[in-house]
Structure 1
Amino acid sequence: MKRRNLGDLSVSAIGLGCMSMTPIYGTPDAQESIFTIHHALDHGIDLIDSSDAYAFGKNEDLIARAIADRRDKVVLATKFGNLRNPDGTMAVNGRPEYVRLACEASLRRLGTDVIDLYYIHRIDPNVPIEDTIGAMVDLKTEGKIRHLGLSKAAPDTLRRAHAVHPIAALQTEYSLWTRDVETELLALCKSLGTGFVAYSPLGRGFLTGLLDSPDALAENDRRRDHPRFAPENMTANAALIATLTTLAREQGCAPAQLALAWVLTRGDYIVPIPGTSKRKWLDQNIAALDITLSEQTLAELDQVFSFGAAAGTRYPAAQMKSLHL
């Protein structure tokens, strides 16, 4: 397995996003999810990514079951501060006292005494980032976490956080059809020595070419609420997938592999974490590491998937307001 660095933390060149292993994009098979984590570890993928917000903590419970006898093989990453209320509303909490409570709850669920990479999942606009980071530094001093991360943070927030303590990784969405981080965040991460963790590098499954209409999504699939998966936008975005499929055929790979290989070309400090709950898709993702893209293919992808090419916003309007604070 090829490796990359997030700050001074060495991880596999791709990680495994575990959000879809508990209900969000439909209802996955829990046992197959556990087998998928084992399969990842057996093939050298050690960055395992979760959050206490995923299925109200049940995602961390599942990961605990999967890694109980192989904790030493895992770079365990999880997040706090993104609150999902039972009624469907959302809130954020970055208060120092909450940071400790959330960390200790995650440690219990994960069945471990230390979290390797701990992120604030959403930035709390009502709490100075310096205060949140200060509480995370206290947890590191106590040996409860090893490295600090931010998720969905604006450039200035990253600068302020990094001034308090080095930030190992910034995690946010990045793929062929979500490229806004290229305007400033990627260069800032590189200059600070902060790694960049790209979630949804396959566009929440759309860049696989396997989703051609909302009917392909389960009734309880949250993507049905995402604008890009609305019927009219999926139709508009079909042209992007057609080109991706053609280029992938020329490359001799699957569209998902081409999309993932593209992310891997963007910098050696960038680690994509494609999510899957099935071993067959994990194997496909791993194979993307061996794909070499020509300058012509890169140029064609850059032209077709130019900034803003995708129809529809990444999230519903309410969630868009909480991004990059």
Structure 2
Amino acid sequence: MTDTDVFHIGGDLPVRRIGYGAMRLSGAPGERSGMTAPVWRAPSDRAESIALLRGAVERGVNFFDTADAYSLGESEELLAEALRPYRDEVVIATKAGVLRPSPGEWITHGHPAYLRQQAELSLRRLGTDRIDLFQLHRVDPEYPLADQIGALKRLRDEGKIRHIGLSEVTVAELAEAERTAPIVSVQNLYNLSDRVHDPVVDHTAAHGIAFIPYFPVTTGDLTPHLTALAAELGATPSQLALAWLLHRAPNTVPIPGTSSPAHLAENAAALRLSLTEDQFKRIG
């Protein structure tokens, strides 16, 4: 493992730069694919899911991302059970700020008291006294951002969370949030086929803030092009998509999610795939 394989979130949480996103570990295996998966119930194959998460640690993954909205908190409970033997070796991030009144609804809700309540529930489900990284799942326009971040700052001051992160924000929103408390990470949708947040990647890289791309292996129309280049490098298109993100900026920490042990191994191995500047540009 080299220095470029690790990013220190908040300056004091060293994580390998390919993590694991737990959103896909829900319901039955056939319900997990795509961006419209319900993420409503705990995985029906719980034992296999626990084995997968422990296998991730054995492959060197030490950063795991979840949210209170994933399976109504059961995702946090699953990670707590699976990672308990490794708790001192891993970093767990969670999020709050989205309501789930039904399988098809994701409703932003950032009332400060609600955020504090959800943090308390996350602490119980994760079985910890302090959450490593607690992220505002979405900015709620109904409440001042200073109040939403203020609630998280109070939790940090109380020692209940270690660091504060944001999800799906612009550079302007990040700058506004930082007027209230230090922000150590931004988790946005970003991949080869969706680069709307290029300015956020550049800004966070310049300021030492972790950028955590979710849905990182989506390649869209670039798949045929990637397949040819991947064959040259002895890699897969998914590995190439992850390698592109790692090369894009030194602060990127992609969190691919999967319930397949084979895909998990493939994703983790992408950390060993280095691109030259020419190869990076050829990808797109």
TM-score, scaled to structure 1 = 0.78
Distance apart, 1:90 and its partner CA: 2.9
Give CA deviations for 1:47-89 in whole Å, capped at 9, x if unaligned. 1110011111111121121022322122110000111212633
Counting only pairs closer than 5 Å after superposition, residues 254-293 of structure 1 correspond to structure 2 as 254-293=236-275
For the pair 1:146 / 2:153, whether they are aligned, the reply is: no
Unaligned runs of 5+ in 1: 208-236, 303-325
Alignment length (residue pairs) = 268
Paired residues of 1:83 and 1:92 also in contact (CA < 8 A) = yes
Higher relative contact order (CA 8 A, sep 6+): 1
Structure 1 segments (4+ residues) deviating >3 Å: none
SS of structure 2 residue aligned to 1:72: coil
Report the Cα distance in structure 1 between the residues aligned to 2:214 and 2:259, rounded to whole angstroms.
Answer: 15
CA shift digits 1:106-163 (9 cap, x unpaired): 1111122211000011110111111111111111111110000000012211001112
CA contact (8 A) 1:35 1:279 kept: no
- Whole-angstrom distance in 2 between the partners of 1:261 and 1:188: 20
- Asked if 1:171 is matched to 2:174, the reply is no
CA distance 1:292–1:193, shift in 2 (3 Å): closer
| Cα distance between partner residues in 2 of 1:37 and 1:186 | 28
Aligned to 1:7: 10
1:6–1:195 contact (8 Å) kept in structure 2 = yes
Q: Which has the higher mean CA deviation after the structures are superposed, 161-170 or 20-29?
A: 20-29
SS at match of 1:171: strand
Q: Where do 5+ consecutive residues of structure 2 fail to align?
A: 34-42
Q: 1:104 to 1:270 in 2, by over 3 A?
A: same
Once residues 268 and 191 of structure 1 are traced to their aligned partners in structure 2, the CA distance between those partners, rounded to angstroms, is: 10
Say yes or no: does 1:193 pair with 2:200. no
Deviates more, 1:289-298 or 1:45-54: 289-298
SS in 2 for 1:179: coil
* Aligned partners of 1:28 and 1:277 also within 8 Å: no
Distance 1:199 1:35 in 2: 23
Q: Distance in 1 between matches of 2:267 and 2:103?
A: 35
1:124 is aligned to 140
Aligned counterparts of 2:276 and 2:100: Cα–Cα separation in 1: 43
Deviations for 1:2-51, whole angstroms, at most 9, x for unmatched residues?
A: 31122313211111111111135166632222112112222321111100
Pairing of 1:60-79 with structure 2 (within 5 A): 60-79=76-95
Contact kept in structure 2, 1:81 and 1:120, CA below 8 Å: yes
Q: Cα distance, 1:290 vs. partner? A: 1.3
> Quick one: percent identity of the two aligned structures?
41
* 8 Å contact from structure 1 (residues 150, 167) kept in 2: yes
| Contact 2:59 2:265 (C-alpha < 8 Å) held by counterparts | no
1:294-309 equivalences in 2 (<5 Å): 294-302=276-284
Q: CA deviation at 1:271?
A: 0.7
Letter in 2 for 1:25: R
CA RMSD of aligned residues (A): 1.6
Greater shift, 253-262 or 15-24, is seen at 15-24
Letter in structure 1 aligned against 2:23: M
1:251 pairs with 2:233 = yes
